Amino acid sequence: MATFRQSLQVGHQVPAILCKVKFSGDMTTIELTAPAKVNLVLRILNKRKDSYHNIFTIFERISLSDRIKISRIPKGIVVSCDKDVTSRPEDNIAYKAADLILNAYKIDEGVKIHIKKRIPIAAGLGGGSSDAAAVLVGINKLFNLNASKDRLMRLGAKLGADVPFFVYDTPFAIGRGIGDRLKKLNISGRAHHLLVYPGFKVATKDVYRVLDTSKLTNSRSNMKDLKSLTKIRGDDKIPLSKNWDKIKNLSHNDLESVVVAKRPVIGKIIRCLGSSPDGGAMVSGSGPSVFCLCRNRREAMEAKKRLFASVPERVRASWQVFLVETKA
């Protein structure tokens, strides 16, 4: 377990946002859930002048999650984790999130953060971003800062493109820009997934570096149909059960071909998971995790049996396999 401390000047105040939290009796400790995400859609539109890419994505928050415990201490930032995440303390995104918000509000105290890690690291599931969002939300509540959700999302965007989605606190959202311009997508119901992390990392920057945006024109041909899902206004809901085929057919990841080319085993996982009559499987984010869309838990369990029957145990020895659902 890696633990570290750094002195920090701190002291001001920030908005409570909707979040399931647990306070200790003395109100000096808060515990939060940091859920993972998958991208039901990920379209790469073009490259920006700042070297990032403009995207169109649909985020789904899922039940796989880390646990974050934050306690007030007199000074500094102390972070511990039950997994090796970074070699240098200041490189941990949870540390960066604490540093950012404490400095932004000139807090003259510090925090001790413990992360119970269940989301695989660098897996295309947003685990680090979710941890960072939980730290922003937790410190906001713990110090009674009263920061607005918009303010926390702006702080989160400085840490990573996915952080604002986790602060936004909604099961489904449309992401534009680099993924930080968000709109709630009112989908009612829950999807189920079999989620496979193949046991190795794929660096996001490497995937984008190889991506040839000039070859993405055809893959964007159904953007009009895709955007029809975003026209719902007010409190109107999109019933997942009635729109299942549309959502499944529109699901696509422009980065998938690059990731599969780098690691062919990912293509094998996709083919196995998508082999059922109603099946559909894809890479999440920049990979390497793969998930399939299922109507219910039974279908997800059947996908697991099918996968394990198709892939020898020696090949999947390092895999992590999860049955997950939409996190409401």
| Domain boundaries defined on the chain | 2-184, 187-325
The architecture (CATH level 2) of 2-184 comes to 2-Layer Sandwich (3.30)
Q: Would residue 305 show up in a list of annotated catalytic residues for this protein? A: no
User: d(Cα 261, Cα 56) in Å, to the nearest integer?
Assistant: 23
14 vs 113, which has greater pLDDT?
113
In whole angstroms, give the CA distance from residue 227 to residue 65.
29
User: How much is the pLDDT for 233?
Assistant: 55
Cα gap 258→280, rounded to integer Å: 19
Which of the following is catalytic: 99, 162, 180, 254? 162
Tokens for 103, please give them.
């400095």
pLDDT digits (tens, 9 = 90+) for 179-202: 999 999 888 889 999 999 999 998
Segment of 107-111, 184-188, 201-205, 221-225 carrying the highest mean pLDDT:
107-111
Q: What is the DSSP letter of 328?
A: -
- 215 pLDDT exceeds 90? no
| Annotated catalytic residue, options 37, 69, 112, 141 | 37
CATH, domain range 187-325: 3.30.70.890
Active-site residue 37, yes or no? yes
Asked whether the whole model's pTM tops 0.85, one would answer: yes
What does the pLDDT look like over 44-74, one tens digit per residue? Answer: 988 888 888 999 999 999 999 999 999 999 9
